[in-house]
Amino acid sequence: MQAQSKTRSLTGCYITIPTMFQDPSLDLDCAAIAHHVKFLLDNGVKAGNGVLLAGGAAGDFSTMTFDERIRVAETVKEAAGGAIPLAMGAQTTSTRELVALAKQAERLGFDFIQVSPPFYFNHTEGDFLDHVKAAADAADVGIIVYNTFWTSAAVSFKTVEQLVRIPNVAALKWATPRTDAMEFEDVVSTFSSTLSIIDNHLMFPLSHALGARAFEVHLSNYWPQWGIRLVEDLDAGHYAKVQRSLISDAMPFYKLWMEIEASYTSGDGYLDKLCMELIGLPSSRCRPPTRDVREGYREKCRAMMIACGVPGVLPAAA
């Protein structure tokens, strides 16, 4: 498979499907996961304006067994019904497990797997390149390389130059630490003609102007219309409008997330799921060690959503 045949389909909002769990056992709640996929599709998310990721960081991959990760992927695949491109989270510290995940993604008919540098040890560039090559050799599936510089060795410009030579590498989910060297802009402007760039940095007007065509959007999980409008406005070149919308609608979500990270717990997806609960969707807590945020932050989250104009926010219980 040549990556270019997959790259063109990776456009729009890149939406991580939260993994829902049953209370109080915290076993998988596959019915709730499927319900959420259908909610997104019913509200206009489709090929061209969206891509769904099963079992990413906001999907609790780090707390799931291998078999659970596959069950989540199967659930998302079945619920999506071929209506939208799909990626499967394949982040792992083990190259052997990555190969197994890649083979399962191919078996299930996923378009992409998401791969990041192995965490815990500070692996070298050569280690990571071999890690990605092993996945590319094992399965006919597109590879999204995710620069998780906050948990592992960073992906450098030099590394990207090597990655684009691996045939299955189709996309780069990209964020960098901010410095005057403008590494974010350098990579986006240089490689956007070869790879699909997924902006994971909330610099959407800038990255779109430089060639990025996909955007990590947590808000889509509870406000899919916002994400669809974002993509339409970016494609129309309405960059000032998009920036104002990021400030008014996205920034409050991220500020609340950072508040929770600083004072209570750490993880990903828990705020997405709380927002989903507050518009009446099936939801849950995340698995430990991330603590349950629902009781402590429900009303602050509700107030944030109402202030931002999120439709369908449920009133507080009397």
Give the residue from 202, 312, 201, 307 showing the smallest Cα distance to 248: 307
Listed in sequence order, the DSSP H helices in the chain are 4-7, 30-42, 66-80, 95-108, 125-138, 157-163, 183-191, 204-209, 224-235, 239-245, 251-263, 270-277, 294-308
pLDDT of residue 4: 56
pLDDT of residue 1: 52
The pTM (predicted TM-score) of the whole model is: 0.96
Give percent of the chain with pLDDT exceeding 90: 91
Give the residue from 171, 175, 173, 216 showing the smallest Cα distance to 196: 171
State the Rg of the chain over Cα. Answer: 18
Give the residue from 76, 69, 71, 72 showing the smallest Cα distance to 94: 69
pLDDT of residue 50: 98
Structure tokens at 247: 């400030």
Answer whether residue 3 shows pLDDT above 70: no
**Residues 62, 149: Cα–Cα separation, whole Å:** 17
pLDDT of residue 154: 87
Return the half-sphere exposure (C-beta side, CA atoms, 13 A cut-off) of residue 279.
20
**Residues 26, 64: Cα–Cα separation, whole Å:** 11
At residue 183, φ and ψ (nearest 5 deg) are -60, -40
**Residues 98, 207: Cα–Cα separation, whole Å:** 29
Measured CA to CA in angstroms, residue 166 lies from 2, 149, 159, 162 at distances of 9, 21, 11, 7
The answer to whether the CB of 198 falls within 8 A of the CB of 181 is: no
**Residues 130, 121: Cα–Cα separation, whole Å:** 15
Residue 288: asked if its preceding bond is cis (omega within 30°), the reply is no
The answer to whether the CB of 184 falls within 8 A of the CB of 201 is: yes
At residue 216, φ and ψ (nearest 5 deg) are -70, 115
Domains and CATH numbers, the chain: 4-237 (3.20.20.70)
Catalogue the active-site residues.
146, 173
pLDDT of residue 5: 66
pLDDT of residue 152: 85
pLDDT in tens, 212-264: 999 999 999 999 999 999 999 999 999 999 999 999 999 999 999 999 999 99
pLDDT in tens, 55-100: 999 999 999 999 999 999 999 999 999 999 999 999 999 999 999 9
In sequence order, what are the residues at sequence separation of 6 or more whose Cβ sits closer than 8 angstroms to the Cβ of residue 241? 233
Answer whether residue 18 shows pLDDT above 70: yes
**How does residue 7 score in pLDDT terms, banded at 50, 70 and 90?**
confident
Answer whether residue 147 shows pLDDT above 80: yes
Which whole number is the average pLDDT over 142-148?
96
Measured CA to CA in angstroms, residue 276 lies from 256, 281, 306, 315 at distances of 15, 5, 13, 14
